[in-house]
């Protein structure tokens, strides 16, 4: 798709083509799936969610290595950044003694099944290449630190430092598989003095957009309500006070997962769905993960809220 | 809609121009400093089921609760049960009972509101907010108290 261009302001228009569109998706419990088009995404370790035994140390996190049992110390990014990406991690091993060195493993779901492991052999920060991944369908990534103290050779403090992870898209275009009810588009701001605002183009077919949403120049994000089971296509353009418009950003695609149809409505596990299960569901209805009445068995779509959509899934499968 | 302090009213949600409706989910957001959702003893919001989803002798299920039991947002789920024929046309979905507890003006509006077909796929719909004005009772003597609760009705029609 070609944007309108003005012959009187070629310089400004050329500058605007650097507009970069990012997108975040609200997923379970307010966690956010973060993505960025076009540029590598650098995530400082200090901004990640972390488990116990992981501490901030200035510009990096510090994983305390002295455990008495084999343990996994992990922390979790709030999202996978690209459909297909190459991952580099800047890390250092605060190692005493000789090899074997501590390792960082990568896992893409809550089972912490390590799909790639790299040995951290230097006390100075170095960049370690984890290779290319295409973990479509998962919403989390874990860096797993393994330190096995059953092994006498490792019975020493082998602390680990991680400074940042850099994700670089290797896909020609980016498609994000998401679940949840809302989606945030975030774009890098333009700096031109005569910037007037932005237009968000969206639609349900690639390159075919509905009437764009006009946003003022002070905003760099927009929140959408999305429906399960649909695929949305987005692009953003900037415009100036003379109504000249930039080229569109690269298109991004968000596939919103269908609601989970195969709900198990037998909430009390007695082999049938009946009035007792309805009572259990109704008691949890209207709660969120933060509420006292929350029952994860009744949260069929896993969005941390038990609401009308869960009730639909419950009812549909209560036969 | 103008109301007096201590009035109770039914907020009636209706649907029109609909076809292929299996269920409805919505959130009703209201100003808790002005309005209170009247609760049953078990903590559920006091509601009345409409007739729209009972078409074709369908059984329907209605749940209405304050989100995490905090005032200001009611979570509502209303749908048929099992493999039921979808409803069409116009009719009443449900009513919610409110009480005026403060003086002022505010909106009762919908959020995260969708209509679903039997495949649990959302259908396009428009939801309309309602403005409420609650006026106070001038207390000129400690002997003057409201003598009765007046129940009124506010209707809102949903375009599907």
pLDDT level of residue B77 (50, 70, 90 thresholds): very high
What pLDDT was estimated at residue A67? 54
Percent of the residues in chain B that have a pLDDT greater than 90, as a whole number: 40
Query: Which one has a higher pLDDT value, B25 or A77?
Result: B25
Query: Which one has a higher pLDDT value, A184 or B147?
Result: A184
The sign one gets for the Cα dihedral B100, B101, B105, B106 is negative
pLDDT level of residue A70 (50, 70, 90 thresholds): very low
Cβ pairs bridging A and B (under 8 Å): 93
Instruction: Give one word for A58, left, alpha or beta, with left for phi > 0 and alpha for psi -120 to 50.
Output: left
3-state secondary structure of A314: helix
What pLDDT was estimated at residue A4? 34
Whose tokens are 């305390």? That residue is A64
Widest pairwise Cα distance in chain B: 60
Which chain B residues contact residue A181 at CB under 8 A? Answer: 112
| Cα–Cα distance, A262 to B128 (Å, whole number) | 33
- Whether residue A237 is predicted with pLDDT greater than 80 in this model: the reply is yes
What pLDDT was estimated at residue A106? 85
Q: Which tokens go with A37?
A: 């088009």
Cβ count near B2 (within 10 Å): 11
A105 neighbors A116 (Cβ within 8 angstroms): yes
What pLDDT was estimated at residue A275? 86
Distance from the Cα of B5 to chain A's closest Cα (Å) equals 28
Q: If you average pLDDT over every residue of chain A, what do you get?
A: 73
* Count of residues in chain A: 319
* Mutation target among B63, B121, B123 for the A interface, most CBs of A within 10 A: B63
Local structure of residue B85 (DSSP, 8 states) = P
DSSP labels for B93-114?
Answer: EEEEEEEE-S-EEEEEEEEEEE
Percent of the residues in chain A that have a pLDDT greater than 90, as a whole number: 8
Query: Which one has a higher pLDDT value, B74 or B114?
Result: B74
On whether any CB of chain A is under 8 Å from the CB of B110, the answer is no
What pLDDT was estimated at residue A97? 60
pLDDT level of residue A98 (50, 70, 90 thresholds): low
- Whether residue A60 is predicted with pLDDT greater than 70 in this model: the reply is yes
3-state secondary structure of B15: strand
pLDDT level of residue A129 (50, 70, 90 thresholds): very high
User: What torsion, rounded to 10 degrees, do the Cα atoms A159, A165, A171, A175 define?
Assistant: 100
On whether any CB of chain B is under 8 Å from the CB of A29, the answer is no
Lowest mean pLDDT among B34-38, B40-44, B113-117: B113-117
Query: Which one has a higher pLDDT value, B31 or A299?
Result: B31
* Count of residues in chain B: 160
- Whether residue A35 is predicted with pLDDT greater than 60 in this model: the reply is no
Widest pairwise Cα distance in chain A: 74
Relative to beta strand B151-159, strand B8-21 is parallel
- Whether residue B57 is predicted with pLDDT greater than 90 in this model: the reply is no
What pLDDT was estimated at residue B70? 95
Q: Residues A247-285: pLDDT tens digits?
A: 777 777 777 766 554 567 888 888 888 888 999 999 999
On whether any CB of chain A is under 8 Å from the CB of B61, the answer is yes
Lowest mean pLDDT among A102-116, A162-176, A222-236, B134-148: B134-148
B146 neighbors B6 (Cβ within 8 angstroms): yes
User: What torsion, rounded to 10 degrees, do the Cα atoms A35, A41, A44, A50 define?
Assistant: 40
On whether any CB of chain B is under 8 Å from the CB of A315, the answer is yes
On whether any CB of chain B is under 8 Å from the CB of A316, the answer is yes
Lowest mean pLDDT among A32-36, A114-118, B14-18: A32-36
Mean pLDDT of A76-81: 64
What pLDDT was estimated at residue A280? 92
**Least CB–CB distance from A282: residue in B26, B63, B112:** B63
| Cα–Cα distance, A58 to B105 (Å, whole number) | 50
| Cα–Cα distance, A177 to B147 (Å, whole number) | 59
Strand order in the sheet with A252-256: A174-178, A252-256, A231-240, A195-203, A213-216
On whether any CB of chain B is under 8 Å from the CB of A289, the answer is no
* Complex prediction ipTM: 0.81
A311 CA to centre of own chain: 27
- Whether residue B92 is predicted with pLDDT greater than 70 in this model: the reply is yes
By C-alpha distance, the chain A residue nearest B68 is A287
| Cα–Cα distance, A294 to A105 (Å, whole number) | 33
Q: Residues A145-160: pLDDT tens digits?
A: 766 555 555 555 667 8
Local structure of residue A11 (DSSP, 8 states) = H
Using CA atoms, how far residue A75 sits from A26, A68, A177, in Å, is 19, 20, 22
| Cα–Cα distance, B22 to B27 (Å, whole number) | 17
Segment of A94-108, A290-304, B26-40, B136-150 carrying the highest mean pLDDT = B26-40
Contact B76 A308 (CB under 8 A): yes
| Cα–Cα distance, B62 to B60 (Å, whole number) | 7
Q: Which tokens go with B150?
A: 């007046």
Mean pLDDT of B102-106: 91
Mean pLDDT of A5-26: 38
Contact B65 A285 (CB under 8 A): yes
């Amino acid at each position: 798709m070609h944007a309108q261009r003005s012959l009187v302001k070629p310089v400004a228009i050329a500058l605007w083509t650097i507009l970069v569109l990012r997108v975040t998706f609200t997923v379970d419990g307010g966690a956010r799936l973060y993505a960025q088009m076009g540029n590598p995404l650098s995530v400082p370790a200090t901004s990640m969610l972390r488990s116990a035994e992981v501490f901030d140390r200035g510009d990096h996190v510090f994983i305390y290595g002295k455990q008495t049992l084999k343990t996994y110390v992990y922390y979790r990014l709030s999202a996978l950044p690209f459909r297909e990406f190459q991952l580099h991690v800047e890390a250092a091993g605060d190692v005493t003694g000789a090899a074997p060195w501590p390792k960082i493993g990568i896992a893409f779901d809550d089972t912490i099944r390590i799909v790639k492991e790299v040995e951290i052999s230097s006390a100075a920060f170095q960049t370690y290449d984890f290779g290319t991944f295409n973990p479509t369908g998962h919403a989390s990534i874990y860096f797993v630190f393994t330190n096995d103290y059953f092994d006498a050779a490792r019975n020493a403090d082998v602390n680990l430092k991680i400074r940042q992870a850099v994700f670089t898209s290797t896909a020609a275009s980016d498609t994000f598989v998401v679940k949840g009810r809302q989606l945030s588009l975030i774009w890098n701001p333009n700096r031109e003095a005569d910037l007037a605002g932005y237009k968000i183009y969206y639609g349900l077919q690639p390159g075919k957009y509905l009437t764009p949403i006009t946003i003022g120049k002070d905003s760099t994000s927009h929140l959408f309500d999305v429906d399960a089971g649909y695929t949305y296509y987005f692009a953003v353009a900037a415009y100036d006070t003379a109504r000249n418009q930039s080229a569109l950003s690269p298109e991004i695609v968000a596939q919103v997962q269908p609601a989970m149809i195969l709900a198990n409505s037998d909430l009390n596990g007695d082999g049938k769905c009946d009035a007792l299960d309805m009572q259990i569901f109704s008691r949890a209805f209207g709660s969120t993960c933060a509420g006292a009445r929350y029952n994860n068995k009744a949260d069929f779509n896993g969005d941390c809220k038990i609401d009308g959509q869960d009730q639909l899934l419950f009812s549909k499968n209560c036969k | 809609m103008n109301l007096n302090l201590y009035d109770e009213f039914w907020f009636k949600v209706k649907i029109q121009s609909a076809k292929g409706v299996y269920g409805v989910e919505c959130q009703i957001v209201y100003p808790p400093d002005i309005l209170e959702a009247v609760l049953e003893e078990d903590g559920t919001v006091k509601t009345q089921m409409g007739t729209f989803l009972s078409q074709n002798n369908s059984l329907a299920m209605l749940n209405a609760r304050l989100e995490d039991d905090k005032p200001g947002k009611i979570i509502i789920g209303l749908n048929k049960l099992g493999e039921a024929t979808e409803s069409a046309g116009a009719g009443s979905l449900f009513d919610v009972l409110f009480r005026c507890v403060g003086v002022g003006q505010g909106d009762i509006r919908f959020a995260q509101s969708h209509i679903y077909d039997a495949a649990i796929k959302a259908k396009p719909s428009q939801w309309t907010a309602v403005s409420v004005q609650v006026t106070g009772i001038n207390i000129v003597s400690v002997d003057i108290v409201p003598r009765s609760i007046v129940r009124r009705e506010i209707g809102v029609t949903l375009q599907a």
